[in-house]
Structure 1
Amino acid sequence: MSFSIVIDHVSFGWPDGTKVLDGLDAAFPAGRTGLIGVNGSGKSTLLKLIARELAPSRGSVSVSGEVGYLPQNVPLKAGRTVSDLLEISRTRAALHAIEAGDVAEEHFAAVGDDWDVEERAHAELDRLGLGHVGLDRTVGTLSGGETIMVALAAQLLKRPDVLLLDEPTNNLDLDARRRLYAAVGAWQGVLLVVSHDRTLLDLVDQIAELREGTVRMYGGNLTAYEEQVAAEQEAAERTVRTAGGEVRRQQRELVEARTRIDRGLRTGRKAYENKKVPKIVANGLKRKAQVTAGRQRTLHLEKLEEARERLTEAEQAVRDDAEIRIELPGTEVPAGRTVLTLPLDPPRRERDEPGEAEESRVAGLETLVVRGPERIALLGPNGSGKTTLLKRIVEHGAHVPVRYLPQRLDLLDDGLSVVDNVRAVAPSASVNDVRARLARFLFRGERVNQAAGTLSGGERFRATLAALLSAEPPPQLLLLDEPTNNLDMASVRQLAQALSAYRGALVVASHDVPFLETLGITRWLRQDRDEGLAES
């Protein structure tokens, strides 16, 4: 088998000494590969190494062909245009200059063979559901999902040999996800995608699992991977039971052997004391018994140690992935209490039919009222204003303490450590108390001193959530914007369980309907560009 990406004994660590990869060897074949692993295992770092965004401290990375890379967090500048994000502004400017009559040689050099760049850009945007987005539109006016799809269009326009995607479905609405699935399904080159999106991972040809510093390849998609791992775990657990039984058997045999030996020694001693045998014979029997006892004890100890080693080896084959343990503040809100009253902008007014008198038709809510421990799901397509609505709630204020988890996880100070970020929002908590809280989010030992700017996407989420839930005063209204982005599947389950136990009010904007259904949602609201906020 020929490999398109080869990782040869690669090591990488952050400047503060945090090791991410240590002597990693891996090879990725042609076709579509899903790269999975728990948060913090190094998946995003590995993609950056392959994309030459980072350089390994040791080892080498070789790639066959040109690389296209869509990072987890697309770098944005509000003043940039869609054309800039597509990386075609220079070519377009040259084209427009030539069309205006400027035949300078540098313009032709800038265009090269790309005379249809604008047509291809529009076609790619349209294929991804962005036909309404103009090339001169500023990035600051795009939603998070629209920005990701434009960034994906930029990579597809390059026609790279190898395409790297890091959590590409984050922030995408259902329609955008379907379009991305179609693009992945039609991809003919080499694809390496990091994701926790089950539908996307069921489109790949093989799964690469990054676990405990090594990569293991599994043929087939995510469903096939899970079936294989489940079978392996069942076999491993059987082996543990068998090995454990063998340890207990060897322990019993050792005790029984010692009992027999001690009984023999006591019998010989009594025979001598009762003058049944001469002293010289008794001493000979004693020495022989002691030698035999030593040999048998050594033999049984060796068998017991071998059984214990087999048990340890079997136990290591059983997965015991650490999961976050979220303890939300015990802030119960009475059922009749008004938590939030937010006047809403009037929805767009439309004519029923062309030529009719302009008659207002209001489909949306005029005021958003939240009472008691309501659990509200906020749905809507990308760009409909869900994030804007959540920010308005924060700015307007609620009748209870409110905390907001943004999509971009920009609550942390990148220059501060994880522990100092939490202490900044919980000044009355002791260092030991903060460290204990962080341990529930899998930040233990020296990891609490890691700079926030060096965290992976999943680690950043955990640190942000730890700060959010440790804040003083504790929140009685939680606003969450796409909270499952960047989380591995185990952490999504843990988050759902924790939020299900929360007794405050909850507003969650998400495209992850299966996740929302686990939260016991009491109201489903839909934000629409034209009709505003309405009951769904």
Structure 2
Amino acid sequence: MLLLQDITYIHPNKDALFTGIDLIVNKHCKAALIGNNGAGKSTLLQLLAGNLSPSSGLVKASSRPWYVPQILGQFNNCTVARALQIDGKLTALHQILAGEVSSENMALLDDDWGIEERCTEAFAYWQLDGVDLQQAMGSLSGGQKTKVMLAGIRIHRPEIVLLDEPSNHLDMAGRALLYQYLQTTNHTLLVVSHDRTLLNLLDTVFELSKRGITTYGGNYDFYAAQKAIATEALNNDVRNREKELRKARDTERAAMERQQKLDARGKKKQEKAGVPTIMMNTLRNKAERSTAQMRGVHAEKVGDIAQKLSELRRELPGTDKMKMDLDNSALHRGKVLVNANSVNIGYGDNLLWRDGIDFKITSGARMAIKGPNGSGKTSLIRLVLGQLLPLAGKLDKATFTSVYIDQDYSLINQLLTVYGQAQQFNTGALQEHDIKIRLNRFLFTADDWDKSCNALSGGEKMRLMLCCLAIGNQAPDMMILDEPTNNLDMQNVEILTNAINQYRGTLLVVSHDEWFLKEIGVEEEIVVGG
């Protein structure tokens, strides 16, 4: 069991990440922890893993969890055995087998004579062929590092497992193994992920937000359905408040017009009756005070409704606020943009693929590039963009415009501010306030405009990139996305999905996320490898 009770965590810079957090994960529960970027999901996992201490509150685990972090670069200078926290035990085993049967070695081994056999079994399950325990973690690919840490589950046999974005760097085969583990294990699980296929294998969803943690007793699809109902209710509240505000303003206007007519009529009567000037002034002042009081009452009511409406609108999901408004590609649908026959690339006489690849990309197509990690998917993108020339086969290309959005959003200049980056795409000479309106539409408020692009999260960079494309207005003929959902939270995955579905040009995507590919309407694929 895992327990968080009244947890507060304050950053070293004194900013509070969250306060008063309560969470119970019961034995054998398989739960997802979701929330927007910056909500503190990874920090919560680290608190439960014992890697961080709360500023206040109680953290309790019934046994020591095995924790697989999202970022693994800190292990680059370690051996695989060290990253798995078994180097001392392996050294003790080998020394004992060599005759050094010391009390220290026996204590380190702790009767775990099958440690090497479990390592072999775990590496075989996670298909870590050729990976050695004494190998440096820095020599492994991102997917291999993740699978090494996942292998630690079979090696250590914990009761509790904490996983932070475990599918991020895994290819299709790796994800299939992860899904199989999640379906068959009886471990207590808490998983941070944006992978919809993975999230639907879990039986509970914990949503972390500024209000704390809300529990949903079902998988992600159940959670999404409940949120959709709540969002529709919220939209109804917004519409009702908008009607109420219009009605209150109409009432205010009608009341003021009626009062002005009454005041004018009263003044005429007083003038006809020959009321003395001093009395006229007294009556006029009284009328003005009455009018001002009435205006104040109506203004207060209108202001109260407007404030409540503003608060409701702030609660709307980001996806309900954003529109891409891109012009369509100028190319007619079906035009052949790239035609490849038995193409291959490489260096010298070493070809990357065993057999040449045939593919055709037509205007308006939605295609996925698929293949195992290291199979040359990014190289194929460079071939399509003309950055590489084939060493074998024939490649014909038409003239077309394109934008390539890689995992690091390299099109964004890290030295610029958010507003400065947006201006780089302002080819239509929009005024400053127009640029800021568009930034607001993509959830960048006035507090963000002077923020350095270098300080943005992956989700923020993705939204800024989409905003820049919207500011440029003319859509590229081809949009190429390389693992676009890596490191995005669920809200930003949904924002990206909606934005892509508004795009009418040619789409080429590298992704291992089958749910995402289905949602954006991918119907064709180019398979590389072999």
Instruction: Report the CA distance between 1:525 and its aligned residue.
Output: 2.5
Change (3 A) 1:145 1:314: same
Q: 1:461 to 1:63 in 2, by over 3 A?
A: farther
Match of 1:91 in 2: 89
Structure 1 residues 231-250: aligned runs within 5 Å: 231-250=229-248
8 Å contact kept, 2:318–2:495: no
Q: Secondary structure at the match of 1:268?
A: helix
Secondary structure (helix, strand or coil) at the match of 1:147 reads helix
Q: What's the CA shift string for 1:153-174, capped at 9, x where partnerless? A: 2245334454322111113233
Equivalent residues in 2 for 1:13-412 (5 A)? 21-30=16-25, 31-51=29-49, 53=51, 58-59=55-56, 62-64=59-61, 65-75=63-73, 82-130=80-128, 135=133, 139=137, 142-155=140-153, 157-160=155-158, 162-188=160-186, 190-212=188-210, 214-275=212-273, 293=291, 296-320=294-318, 343-344=344-345, 365-366=355-356, 376-382=367-373, 384=375, 386=377, 396=388, 409=408
- Which secondary structure does the structure 2 equivalent of 1:171 belong to? coil
The Cα shift of 1:232 comes to 1.9
Aligned equivalents of 2:168, 2:203: Cα separation in 1: 22
Question: Cα gap change, 1:136/1:452 in structure 2, threshold over 3 Å: closer, same or farther?
Answer: farther
- Counterpart CA distance in 2 for 1:469 and 1:250 is 36
- Tell me the distance in 1 between the aligned counterparts of 2:483 and 2:270: 85
Percent of residue pairs identical: 33
- The match for 2:517 is 516
Counterpart Cα distance in 2 of 1:290 and 1:405: 63
- Report the CA distance shift for 1:444/1:291 in structure 2 as closer, same or farther (over 3 A): closer
SS where residue 216 of structure 2 aligns?
A: strand
CA distance in 2, matches of 1:249, 1:504: 44
Q: 2:478, 2:506 within 8 Å by CA — same for their partners in 1?
A: yes
Aligned to 2:493: 492
Unaligned regions of 5+ residues in structure 1, if any? 347-362
Question: C-alpha distance in 2, partners of 1:298/1:413?
Answer: 49
For the residues of structure 2 that align with 1:325 and 1:300, how far apart are their CA atoms? 35
CA distance in 1, matches of 2:521, 2:322: 21
- Map 1:440-459 onto structure 2 (within 5 A): 456-459=457-460
Cα deviation, residue 519, structure 1: 5.8
Residues 247 and 66 of structure 1: CA distance in aligned 2, closer, same or farther (over 3 Å): same
Pairwise CA distance, 1:231:
1.9
1:11 aligned residue: 10
More divergent stretch after superposition (174-183 vs 284-293): 284-293
User: CA 1:103–1:324 in 2, change beyond 3 Å: closer, same or farther?
Assistant: farther
Conservation of the 8 A alpha-carbon contact between 2:89 and 2:109: yes
**How many Å separate the matches in 2 of 1:44 and 1:510?**
23
* Contact persistence 2:4–2:22 (CA under 8 A): yes
CA RMSD of aligned residues (A): 5.2
SS in 2 for 1:377: strand
CA distance in 2, matches of 1:257, 1:325: 39
Distance in 2 of aligned mates of 1:502 and 1:200: 27
Structure 1: distance between partners of 2:92 and 2:192: 37
Give 1:326 shift: 7.7
**Distance in structure 2 (CA, Å) of the matches to 1:174 and 1:475:** 29
8 Å contact kept, 1:339–1:477: no
Measure, in 2, the Cα distance between the counterparts of 1:152 and 1:338: 40
Aligned-partner residue type, residue 59 of structure 2? S
**Post-superposition shift, 1:28?**
1.7
Q: How far 1:29 moved relative to its partner?
A: 1.0
Give the deviation of 1:296 after TM superposition.
Answer: 4.5
Show the counterpart of 2:393: none
CA contact (8 A) 2:122 2:155 kept: yes
What's the CA shift string for 1:350-391, capped at 9, x where partnerless? Answer: xxxxxxxxxxxxx96325677776765222345655467668
| Contact in 1 for aligned 2:409/2:462 (Cα 8 Å) | no
Specify the SS of the correspondent of 1:315: helix
Q: TM-score, normalised by structure 1?
A: 0.70
Q: Distance in 2 between matches of 1:226 and 1:460?
A: 25
The verdict on how the C-alpha distance between 1:322 and 1:389 changes in structure 2, with shifts beyond 3 A counting, is: same
Amino acid at match of 2:485: T
Q: Matched residue of 1:492: which SS?
A: helix
- Give the superposition deviation at 1:109: 2.3
Counterpart CA distance in 1 for 2:78 and 2:184 is: 30
Query: Secondary structure at 1:106's aligned position in 2?
Result: helix
User: After superposition, what is the alpha-carbon deviation per residue over 1:186-216, rounded to whole angstroms, capped at 9, x for unaligned?
Assistant: 5545433221111222233433333457544
CA–CA separation in structure 2 for the residues paired with 1:153 and 1:174 = 17
Matched pairs, number: 497
Change (3 A) 1:503 1:248: closer
Residue 151 of structure 1 deviates from its aligned partner by 0.9
Q: 1:417 to 1:217 in 2, by over 3 A?
A: farther
Please give the per-residue CA displacement for 1:269-318, whole angstroms capped at 9, x wherever unaligned. 33333338899998897787667656545544444344334434443443
CA contact (8 A) 2:23 2:213 kept: no
Task: Please give the TM-score of this superposition, normalised by the length of structure 2.
Answer: 0.71
Which one-letter code corresponds to 2:34 in the other structure?
I
Secondary structure in structure 1 of the residue aligned to 2:73: coil
Unaligned runs of 5+ in 2: 348-352, 391-396
The answer (yes or no) to whether the contact 1:403–1:475 under 8 Å persists in 2 is yes
- Following superposition, the deviation at residue 111 of structure 1 comes to 0.7
SS at match of 1:115: coil
